[in-house]
Amino acid sequence: MTGSTTRPRRRMRRADREQQLLDVAEEIFGERGFQTVTMDEIADRAGVTKPVLYDHFGSKDGLAVACISRARAELLRLTIEAQSRAGTPEDVVLTGFRVFFDFIEKHERAWTMLVAEGALAGSPAAEEMENVRQQQADYTAAILASGMPGVPEEAIDTYAQAIIGACERLAVRRRHDPQLSADAVARTLAELVWFGLSGVRDGKQWPTTEEGTA
């Protein structure tokens, strides 16, 4: 790490320092991956000593968890704020997807590392990533349930989990095809979900084996 990348040291309030350290950690994790980065490198770039880093987060795993936790809170906040301004139910669905893909684009390098890097498997950071998925699934399930009264809770949860999985895969797809805009992907997925669930909203059911083969 060269001296030109080291940020000058200055006194900050503890909460402000923590946010600065998280910014630096997300940046360097995104550049080099979780496995190869050391706490020395993060401290050097942040312009602090390594003990300061350990004082805030305890370990590199703790630092990764804190990065993901912050992202989880921000994603939920942005989603709620944006959807509160949406008009029709269709707008609510589309807005939720737009927020997700815009958020991933803003944090693209770090998000890809956190989602895809095998080094995180079985770690506290991997558990926190699962918390992000579950948070979004729970929120999505609540939106779906409000628009599909009477649909069993198990079915709502299945739909929500499938939607979150689709979002994650499409985020990876966009990384490999930058020509796919966040807005275009959000609109296509919203169409799939809205029209795909239209039968459920209308009370239709999948035919039984007897009905399907009659």
**pLDDT per residue over 177-212, tens digit each?**
888 899 999 999 999 999 988 888 777 767 765 555
| Closest C-alpha among 93, 99, 84, 87 to residue 198 | 93
- The residue type of 13 is R
Q: Which domains can be identified in the chain, with CATH numbers?
A: 10-60 (1.10.10.60), 68-201 (1.10.357.10)
Q: What is the CA radius of gyration of the chain?
A: 21
pTM above 0.75, yes or no: yes
Please tell me the predicted confidence (pLDDT) of residue 79: 93
> Tokens for 99?
């927020």
Place of tokens 């689709």: 166
Check pLDDT > 90 for residue 32: no
The confidence band for 3, taking pLDDT boundaries of 50, 70 and 90, is very low
Nearest Cα to 136, choosing from 71, 82, 93, 76?
76
Per-residue confidence (pLDDT) for residue 1, from 0 to 100: 40
Query: How far is 46 from 19, CA to CA, in rounded Å?
Result: 11
More confident residue, 33 or 94: 94
- Between CA 100 and CA 65 the distance in angstroms is 20
CA pair distance 54, 63, nearest whole angstrom: 9
Provide the residue type at 151 as one letter.
V
Nearest to 54 by CA among 12, 10, 21: 21
pLDDT per residue as tens digits for the range 135-176? 999 999 999 998 888 889 999 999 999 999 999 889 888 888
- pLDDT tens, 78-136? 999 999 998 888 899 999 999 999 998 888 766 766 665 555 667 787 888 888 889 99
Q: Which residue has the tokens 């995104």?
A: 30
Looking at residue 124, its pLDDT comes to 83
Q: How confident is the model at residue 62 (pLDDT cuts 50, 70, 90)?
A: very high
Residue 121 has a CB neighbour count (10 Å cut-off) of: 8
